[in-house]
Structure 1
Amino acid sequence: MQLNQVNLSYVPREDRLLLRINTLEGAEFRFWLTRAVVARMVAGLAHSEEVQMGSETQQWTNPALQQALEQFDREVASEGASASSPPSSPFCARFEAKASHYPLGQQPLLVVKVEISPRDRHAALTLTLASGQTLSINLNAGMVSSINRLLCDILKGADWNLTHCAVRRPALRMAGTETQH
């Protein structure tokens, strides 16, 4: 199963997030995410993002460079999940609801547990449903950042007081070649 698009929306009447995932094969999955599940998900995504950034970067000590890299990361992440993203982007605001089948049914299923296992170049996202079924999805570094950004943007309207959305690049240092003034 390959992801095509991911969509998140807050449903005030349910006080839950609706997660919709469609695949390149034309399948759509729909899930309800509660506040508790989202809190664990955001914390896990933030941790995965830090692990992935730490494994892909060299270590630097220049504070100006550190600040520039953090700003770049924020801009890339926000562009990846913006309304102006092309429809072919997995994280665009315009979700293409053209599913040919719904393997778990058309009604959203309640997620009771979420696990995120960070790796060097990806993270494994495992959703456990109330029925006991599990769905595992491998997310590359860009997907982790984009889903994290989507969640943080959606949570602004949910009034859930979750504070895990401030993700920072790990401290960067480059040994031996940098001059300090």
Structure 2
Amino acid sequence: MDVHQLSIAFVAEQDRLLARVNTREGQELQFWLTRRIALGLAPLMDRLLIEQVARQGGPATSHLASLDALSKKAMADFQRSDSLRGADFATPYQPSGDSKPLFDTALLVTDLNVTPKGKSAVHMQFVEKLPGCDGQRSFEMALQDQMVYAFVHLLEVAIASAQWCEPAASAAASPAGAHDGEKPQYLN
């Protein structure tokens, strides 16, 4: 699957992230990422990118494998910003007009396998295993250099848009011990 365009957006009504992939062959693929999957995937991809930068090799970067974690992260962040500088986030996602999506409905990702391939590619396998259903749906996608960084960037932007990493408003609004001595309030 040769990825042409990626889109990841928070859909508030579903409380999920909808990822859409447009291929160069004109196919479209849609899949849902739940909060659990997305919040587990983001740090995994970040760690994977840090490890890949350290392993890239070559005379100029052969010393990276022996660097401490903070230095590796700094190098990965530098490479990420350099890669994202050339990415086009201004062009809106355009669904394939001629062909229908790969699946009739968007895949609900329940399992995800991410494997590094080569120096900068990532192989991803998305699986939908729903209880009460006999079969499972799945697809595999390989992302190269710039697409990996773009995917991670879009994922992080969508997670921020969903506000999944922010504390609950009620917990932040009342400081600890503010309700001491007050009567408990009941809903019913």
Residues 97-139 of structure 1 deviation map (CA, whole Å, 9 limit, x = unaligned): 124222212x322111111112332211110013522211111
Alpha carbons 1:35, 1:160 under 8 Å: kept = yes
- The one-letter amino acid of 2:123's match is A
TM-score under structure 1 normalisation? 0.71
In 2 relative to 1, CA 156–115 (structure 1 residues): closer, same or farther, beyond 3 Å? same
- The one-letter amino acid of 1:25's match is E
Following the alignment from structure 2 to structure 1, what is the Cα–Cα distance between the partners of residues 12 and 32? 12
Residues 131-163 of structure 1 deviation map (CA, whole Å, 9 limit, x = unaligned): 52221111123222111111111211111118x
Larger helix share, 1 or 2: 2
| 2:27 corresponds to | 27
Residues 20-69 of structure 1 deviation map (CA, whole Å, 9 limit, x = unaligned): 011111110111110111122212211221222112133267xxx98985
Alpha carbons 1:33, 1:110 under 8 Å: kept = yes
In 2 relative to 1, CA 41–70 (structure 1 residues): closer, same or farther, beyond 3 Å? closer
How many residues in Structure 1 have an aligned counterpart in Structure 2? 150
Following the alignment from structure 1 to structure 2, what is the Cα–Cα distance between the partners of residues 8 and 74? 18
Following the alignment from structure 2 to structure 1, what is the Cα–Cα distance between the partners of residues 28 and 73? 39
Following the alignment from structure 2 to structure 1, what is the Cα–Cα distance between the partners of residues 110 and 96? 27
TM-score under structure 2 normalisation? 0.69
| 1:137 corresponds to | 141
In 2 relative to 1, CA 41–69 (structure 1 residues): closer, same or farther, beyond 3 Å? closer
Following the alignment from structure 1 to structure 2, what is the Cα–Cα distance between the partners of residues 39 and 66? 22
Following the alignment from structure 1 to structure 2, what is the Cα–Cα distance between the partners of residues 40 and 46? 11
Following the alignment from structure 1 to structure 2, what is the Cα–Cα distance between the partners of residues 128 and 66? 31
2:165 to 156, 161, 166: 161
| 2:178 corresponds to | none
